[in-house]
Amino acid sequence: KPDFAAKLAARLGAPINRRTVHAVDDASFAIHQREVVGLVGESGCGKSTLGRIVAGIDDPTEGRILYRGQDVAHASGEATRKFHLKIQMIFQDPLDSLNPRYRIGKSVSEAARYHKVVPEEQMAEHIEKVLLQCGVDPTTQNRFPHQFSGGQRQRIGIARALALRPDLVVCDEAVASLDVSIQAQIINLFMDLRDEYDLAYLFVSHDIGVVRHISDRVVVMYLGRIVEQGTTAELFAKPNHPYTQALLSEVPSLKRRHSSFHTIKGEIPSPLKPPSGCHFHPRCPHAMERCKLERPMLKAVASGHMSACHLNDEG
Ligand code: SF4
Ligand code: MG
């Protein structure tokens, strides 16, 4: 994605040939109705980019995004409009999605009104119901975002997304900046909304503890590639990929769930110049000669469990 490449170059202070950066490289996975898929990896691994692509905010340079069987990445008109409504994104800082100069009632209803989610005469009632469901007092609709706490603002952000009646909500570090007790409340809200609306979530997070708690399946990314995916139970019980094993070994208990991943041996290589073969080989304790030369592909290691590691061929 060119503007991602430019931003990355600015952040790294490096000159860059735009064509050479693949923030996300050949990432294929599915999300089913009512399913919570956790997407984990170190910062800079491309998980936010992948989340933005799924949400239709960024376009993939190649590949398809299928929504109920229809390719919406390269569609226009009605299919794209419907896709944008049905897949909503929630960010770490709700101020990113709430206009500070709008009263929150306007922020929550604006897109729903534009897309005529319900007839205008039912809109006030619709918004009131959505706010109540998200734990926001509807009588505060004429206040501005800065008059609310961080947790309340996140609830308002969720209400704004929910007002569009989405099927899938992409949450990018949606609870990362909240206190632990507020995090738990927001996570409970996500789960209540799933039950109520059959919502699915793509839960992008660096926080393995939270992901384990809420996800049905987990997708692990490393330097733009999916290295492992499986059901949460299977992946945590039998992590296959050495990178996943390293990630999980750093989170021995929920008490330490805020630990980040930087205790894995070695620096994260630059995504501008990822290592050859298996991107993880410079940090992998099991790296073999072959790992430097040949890219491992995702292969089934158990039912519904895939991993991209040459060790699986070695027996
Ligand atoms: Fe390690 Fe090789 Fe497996 Fe990569 S393919 S994770 S370097 S053993
Ligand atoms: Mg991110």
Q: Closest residue (by CA) to atom 7 of ligand 1?
A: 281
Proximal ligand: closest to the CA of 282: 1
Residue 126 within a domain: no
Residue 10 within a domain: yes
The sign of the dihedral angle between the CA atoms of 263, 264, 266, 271 is negative
Enter the tokens of residue 204: 């992008």
CB 98 within 8 A of CB 156: yes
- Cα 51 to middle of ligand 2, angstroms: 9
Residue 55 within a domain: yes
278 lines ligand 1 (CB under 6 A): yes
170 lines ligand 1 (CB under 6 A): no
The sign of the dihedral angle between the CA atoms of 168, 60, 41, 220 is positive
Residue 144 within a domain: no
CB 35 within 8 A of CB 202: no
Q: Which of 188, 174, 197, 186 is nearest to 39 (CA)?
A: 174
Q: Closest residue (by CA) to atom 5 of ligand 1?
A: 309
Among 79-83, 86-90, 99-103, 278-282, name the one with the lowest average pLDDT.
79-83
Q: Which of 48, 55, 56 is nearest to 93 (CA)?
A: 48
309 lines ligand 1 (CB under 6 A): yes
281 lines ligand 1 (CB under 6 A): yes
d(CA 170, CA 189): 15
Enter the tokens of residue 118: 């319900």
Proximal ligand: closest to the CA of 228: 1
281 lies in which domain range? 2-85+165-314
The predicted structure's pLDDT at residue 255: 45
- Please give the average per-residue pLDDT across 166-171, as a whole number: 95
Q: For 66-86, b where at least 16 C-beta lie within 10 A, e where not — what string? A: ebeeeebbebeeeebebbbbb
34: alpha, beta or left, given left = phi > 0 and alpha = psi -120 to 50? left
Q: Is the pLDDT of residue 12 over 50?
A: no
| Ligand 1 mutation target, pool 227, 291, 293, 298, most atoms within 8 A of CB | 291
* CATH number of residue 309's parent domain: 3.40.50.300
Whole-model pTM?
0.86
pLDDT digits (tens, 9 = 90+) for 204-243: 998 999 999 999 999 999 998 999 999 999 999 999 999 9
Proximal ligand: closest to the CA of 47: 2
d(CA 8, CA 30): 27
Instruction: Locate the ligand 1 atom nearest the alpha carbon of residue 278 and give its number.
Output: 4
Place of tokens 């793509």: 202
CB 173 within 8 A of CB 141: no
Size of the chain in residues: 315
Residue 274 within a domain: yes
284 lines ligand 1 (CB under 6 A): yes
Instruction: Locate the ligand 1 atom nearest the alpha carbon of residue 310 and give its number.
Output: 5
Proximal ligand: closest to the CA of 170: 2
The predicted structure's pLDDT at residue 9: 46
Residue 175 within a domain: yes
280 lines ligand 1 (CB under 6 A): yes
- Cα 174 to middle of ligand 1, angstroms: 31
Among 53-62, 198-207, 244-253, 260-269, name the one with the lowest average pLDDT.
260-269
What total number of domains does the chain contain? 1
Concatenate the DSSP letters of all residues of 59-100 into one string: --SSS--EETTEE-TT--THHHHHHHHHEEEE-SSGGGTS-T
Residue 155 within a domain: no
| Ligand 1 mutation target, pool 241, 244, 281, most atoms within 8 A of CB | 281
Provide, rounded to the nearest whole percent, the portion of the chain with pLDDT above 70. 87
Residue 189 within a domain: yes
